[in-house]
Structure 1
Amino acid sequence: MSLTLNAAQTIVTAALAEARSRSARPLAVIVLDAGGHPAAFAREDGASLFRHDIARAKAMGALGMGDDTRVLAERAKGNPAFFQSVSVAVGGNIAFSPGGVLIRTGGAIIGAVGISGDTGECDEDCALAGLKAAGFDQENAK
């Protein structure tokens, strides 16, 4: 199964709805397919200049390393030299903060969502809300 445009747009819309329900700071949300190509993107009014780049780095980092950025951030604490090298090797296209979440179906990675604008925890919660709204059960996808 591949990631559809409809699913990607649902993820973005639902993630932003979750952000507004939490009175989160303005967000940027991007959904990438398994090849790292943008499928859908939105930047809320007032989101700061680099939010798109950070959201994309979260999604690309999750795709490239095969795990959510929350997990990567924890692993980076124990091996900072390696993860600094990874960041250099990929031209900075990775962010070690929650908010980059893999999109899985039946154990297969079909994309990732990246969100930036509020705390990493809030960004991640909004991403998970978007995935749930689009029918992706992250708890049983691995």
Structure 2
Amino acid sequence: MTELNLEACRRIVQAALAKGVAIGCAPMSAAVLDAGGNVIAFERADDTPPGRFEVARAKAYGAVMLHKGGRAQEALAEARPQVATALGGAFDGKFFPLKGGVLVRNAAGRVLGAVGVTGDSPDNDEACAVAGVEAVEGLVAEP
């Protein structure tokens, strides 16, 4: 796959939410963004707070804008909190530096977009995001 299309993004979201159910997570939300930071797909499970859209989008947005997954963003925020604060301002608040923001790359390593998942612990959010990306042949997740 060379680009993210709507069908692939829907599969990512559905697989991410299904992983959350399978591992016993709280209700999850997932957003998929293209390489320009535009939302292609979003879903939230029943009984999920509406604010989860912004969190899922922000996790993915930071990943795609920095070409760094949530793990690397979290490390940056811990090591250099002033930079994380500045990025939050530069990205109009769409920056949530925790696990659960995962880059989507093609087999050649090119960034196609990112996935943001939220609703449970950062580790579970990340596991669900990775499962979503890995559900689509030819895509590579970078947490």
Normalised by the size of structure 2, how large is the TM-score? 0.93
Q: CA deviation at 1:44?
A: 0.5
Q: Which residue of 2 aligns with 1:71?
A: 72
1:27 aligns with 2:34: no
RMSD: 1.1
Q: CA deviation at 1:126?
A: 0.3
Alpha-carbon deviations, 1:93-134, whole Å to 9, x = none? Answer: 100110010100111000100011101110110010011111
- Show structure 1 runs of 4+ deviating over 6 A: none
Q: CA deviation at 1:39?
A: 1.3
Alpha-carbon deviations, 1:45-102, whole Å to 9, x = none? Answer: 0111211100000000101111101111112111111111111122111001100101
Structure 1 stretches of 5 or more lacking a match? none
Partner Cα separation in structure 2 for residue 88 and residue 37 of structure 1: 18
Q: Which residue of 2 aligns with 1:41?
A: 42
Partner Cα separation in structure 1 for residue 43 and residue 83 of structure 2: 32
Structure 2 stretches of 5 or more lacking a match? none
Aligned length: 139
Q: Secondary structure at 2:115's aligned position in 1? A: strand
Pick the aligned partner of 2:124 from 122, 125, 128.
122
Normalised by the size of structure 1, how large is the TM-score? 0.93
Partner Cα separation in structure 2 for residue 113 and residue 138 of structure 1: 9
Pick the aligned partner of 1:108 from 100, 107, 110.
110
Q: Is the 8 A contact 2:56 2:116 kept in 1?
A: yes
Q: CA deviation at 1:137?
A: 3.1
Amino acid across the alignment from 1:67: K
Amino acid across the alignment from 1:53: E
1:138 aligns with 2:141: yes
1:12 aligns with 2:13: yes
For the structure 1 residues 137 and 91, does the alpha-carbon distance in structure 2 shift closer, same or farther, using more than 3 Å as the test?
closer
Q: Is the 8 A contact 2:27 2:48 kept in 1?
A: yes
Q: Secondary structure at 2:60's aligned position in 1? A: helix
Partner Cα separation in structure 2 for residue 110 and residue 43 of structure 1: 22
